[in-house]
Chain A
Amino acid sequence: MRMALSEQSAAGDAGIAGTVRAVPARRELVYRHSVLVRITHWMNVLCLTLLLMSGLKLFNVHPALYWGNYGYVGAPTVFSIDGVLDRFTQEPVGLMRIGNRTIETTGYLGVTYDSEGYPRRGAFPQWATLGADLALARDWHFLAAWFFVINGAIYLLSGFIGGHFRRDLAPDREQLRPRHILRDIWDHVRLRRPRGEEAKRYNVLQKFAYLAVIFVLLPTILLAGLTMSPAVTAAFPFLFDLFGGRQSARTIHFIAANLLVLFVAVHVLEVLLSGAFNLMRSMITGRYAIRPERTP
Chain B
Amino acid sequence: MTLKISRRRVLTAGMATFGSSLLAGCDRIYDGISPRPLLDFGQWMSLHAHRLLLAGQPLVREYALADISPQFPPNGTQMPDGIDYFEMMATGFERFRLTVDGMVKKPLSLSLAEIKMMPSRTQITQHSCDEGWTAIGQWTGVQLAHLLQMAQLAPEARYVVFHCLDELDGESYYESIDLFDAFHPQTILAYGMNGRTLPVEHGAPLRLRVERQIGYKNAKYVTRVEVVSSFERMGSGRGGFWPDRGYQWYAGL
CA distance A237 to B253 in the complex (A): 14
For B42, give its contact among A139, A230, A232 (CB under 8 Å): A139
CA distance A73 to B133 in the complex (A): 8
CA distance A232 to B126 in the complex (A): 13
Contact in complex: B126, A138 (CB < 8 Å): no
Contact in complex: B46, A230 (CB < 8 Å): no
Contact in complex: B43, A142 (CB < 8 Å): yes
Contact in complex: A135, B59 (CB < 8 Å): no
Chain B proximity of A188: nearest CB distance (Å): 38
One digit per residue, 1 when the CB lies within 8 angstroms of any chain A CB and 0 when it does not, for chain B 124-160 equals 0010111111111000000000000000000000000
Chain B proximity of A235: nearest CB distance (Å): 4
Contact in complex: B134, A246 (CB < 8 Å): yes
For residue B118, CB closer than 8 A to chain A, the reply is: no
Contact in complex: B41, A230 (CB < 8 Å): no
For residue B58, CB closer than 8 A to chain A, the reply is: yes
Contact in complex: A135, B69 (CB < 8 Å): no
Contact in complex: A231, B134 (CB < 8 Å): no
One digit per residue, 1 when the CB lies within 8 angstroms of any chain B CB and 0 when it does not, for chain A 132-155 equals 011110111011001000000000
For B252, give its contact among A69, A72, A230 (CB under 8 Å): A230
Most chain A beta carbons < 10 A, residue from B35, B67, B213, B246: B246
> Number of residues in A with C-beta < 8 Å to the partner?
35
For residue B86, CB closer than 8 A to chain A, the reply is: no
Chain B proximity of A165: nearest CB distance (Å): 27
CA distance A139 to B246 in the complex (A): 10
Contact in complex: A134, B73 (CB < 8 Å): no
Contact in complex: A247, B134 (CB < 8 Å): yes
Asked, given contacts A71-B133, A133-B246, A228-B253, whether A233 binds B60 with beta carbons under 8 Å apart, the answer is: yes
For residue A267, CB closer than 8 A to chain B, the reply is: no
Contact in complex: B126, A70 (CB < 8 Å): yes
CA distance A134 to B216 in the complex (A): 13
Contact in complex: B133, A142 (CB < 8 Å): no
Contact in complex: B43, A69 (CB < 8 Å): no
CA distance A234 to B253 in the complex (A): 11
For A234, give its contact among B39, B42, B54 (CB under 8 Å): B54
One digit per residue, 1 when the CB lies within 8 angstroms of any chain A CB and 0 when it does not, for chain B 32-64 equals 000100110111011000100110001111010
One digit per residue, 1 when the CB lies within 8 angstroms of any chain B CB and 0 when it does not, for chain A 51-93 equals 0000000110110000001111111000000000000000000
Interface of A is mostly: helix
For B128, give its contact among A135, A228, A237 (CB under 8 Å): A228
Contact in complex: B247, A231 (CB < 8 Å): no
Chain A proximity of B34: nearest CB distance (Å): 11
For residue B4, CB closer than 8 A to chain A, the reply is: no
Asked, given contacts A72-B69, A72-B73, A231-B53, whether A146 binds B45 with beta carbons under 8 Å apart, the answer is: yes
Contact in complex: A143, B39 (CB < 8 Å): yes
For A246, give its contact among B46, B53, B54, B126 (CB under 8 Å): B126
Residues of A near B122 (CB, < 8 A) are none
Residues 145 to 195 of chain B near chain A (Cβ within 8 Å): none
For residue B17, CB closer than 8 A to chain A, the reply is: no
Residues 202 to 242 of chain A near chain B (Cβ within 8 Å): 228-237, 240
Contact in complex: A75, B69 (CB < 8 Å): yes
Residues 227 to 281 of chain A near chain B (Cβ within 8 Å): 228-237, 240, 246-247, 250
Asked, given contacts A231-B253, A234-B58, whether A135 binds B126 with beta carbons under 8 Å apart, the answer is: no
The 9 residue pairs across chains A and B that have the minimum distance between CB atoms: A231-B252, A143-B42, A62-B132, A229-B253, A235-B53, A72-B133, A139-B39, A135-B246, A70-B69
15 pairs of residues in contact across A and B, judged by CB atoms under 8 Å = A71-B133, A71-B134, A72-B72, A72-B73, A133-B246, A143-B41, A230-B128, A231-B50, A231-B252, A232-B253, A234-B54, A234-B58, A234-B212, A235-B53, A240-B61
A residues bordering B, Cβ < 8 Å? Answer: 58-59, 61-62, 69-75, 133-136, 138-140, 142-143, 146, 228-237, 240, 246-247, 250
B residues bordering A, Cβ < 8 Å? Answer: 35, 38-39, 41-43, 45-46, 50, 53-54, 58-61, 63, 67, 69-73, 126, 128-136, 211-214, 242, 245-248, 252-253
